Structure 1
């Protein structure tokens, strides 16, 4: 088997895993904590470790859109588009930090970004859009549940990845 065939096989395997992880993300999107806060991003954070940061960004982004869709876009479509971009970025950063440093640091950064940073970014946006829950009221209402759910998603992704890390190698 030549190099090109090996690369095609790896790409096909990654696409199949990505599809399966998006399906898992859909299942997680149905396990809601509050509004559109759910267990959808665990698959995205796992993908960032297992398949690579770009795949993690893709799965996390699609995962959030699925959660927003199954929740009826409670924060409006523009806010959920921003959150979708945030989720992709945070999963990507998680994967990069893990590769360059370690899982503990990557997990801490991902939890802070997703739990606090995401809501901080939305404070002026929710105020500008004049949502019923906006500004600092929005921040205080969301930061606790989002931080807790972020911790659950990130820690579960990390634990699952570490438990299979040496059993599967597709990179």
Structure 2
């Protein structure tokens, strides 16, 4: 299953098959201007419900220009680095990590931006971008924006807590 299908399933479970532009903005962290521009220029299926326009989620996702930071790495990862960055390593291992995961998802949602992380942790944008480039945090590129998968922060936070 590719990353686009995983994200689509997560969003369908949260907001349903159709969503308004406001819900898309809240859940994806995209600006309303970008959403309306995309809807206007692309052939996205929509419907009117309760007097407002809703857009089909799968049709909206087909129009997004996705790429990820999961590009081939020139230097192979060590076994320890592979374990830290593995998709299946995102689940919490103890009560503290469960609390952290719940806090992240409650405050940031499934996806967030670097601005959200700067506000929450007080760490500069440059540091977050460096982590994304190294592959420590998974992000999606939608046009020129980087959208971070919030659950991918858990291995980074786990590694950071071990330093204390």
TM-score by length of 2: 0.25
Higher strand residue share:
2
Higher helix residue share:
1
